[in-house]
């Protein structure tokens, strides 16, 4: 799978509205064939930063970045950003989350 984490630095005046601003993009991405997850979280250290954790089947990522909703997002969302988001991107030989063994709950 392709595993991606991106930090989105949102302009302060739009930070509280961010979940609504990306709602259509989020729903469309989650509905894509090959999308495993697409989850937003707000940073505890910087309330103007959202962290996006997403994963796709290896052959699904290209369809995502060439989709109409992705193209719309690349046009519409930058006006809400302080700067270009940071990203890490990995190909992994697994398809699901692993358990954190050190925090095992019985």
Q: Where does 1-106 show beta strands of DSSP type E?
A: 2-9, 35-42, 49-56, 86-91
Largest Cα span, the chain: 47
pTM of the model: 0.90
Q: What is the pLDDT of residues 8-63, one digit of tens each?
A: 999 999 999 999 999 999 999 999 999 999 999 999 999 999 999 999 998 887 88
Residue of higher predicted confidence among 81 and 60: 81
């Amino acid at each position: 799978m392709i595993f991606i984490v991106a930090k989105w630095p949102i302009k302060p005046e739009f930070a509280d509205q961010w979940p609504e601003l990306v709602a259509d993009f989020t729903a469309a991405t989650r509905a894509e064939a090959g999308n495993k997850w697409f989850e937003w979280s707000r940073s505890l250290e910087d309330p103007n930063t959202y962290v996006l954790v997403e994963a796709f089947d290896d052959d699904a990522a290209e369809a995502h970045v060439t989709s109409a909703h992705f193209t719309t997002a690349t046009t519409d969302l930058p006006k809400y950003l302080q700067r270009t988001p940071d990203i890490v991107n990995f190909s992994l030989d697994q398809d699901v989350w692993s358990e954190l063994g050190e925090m095992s709950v019985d």
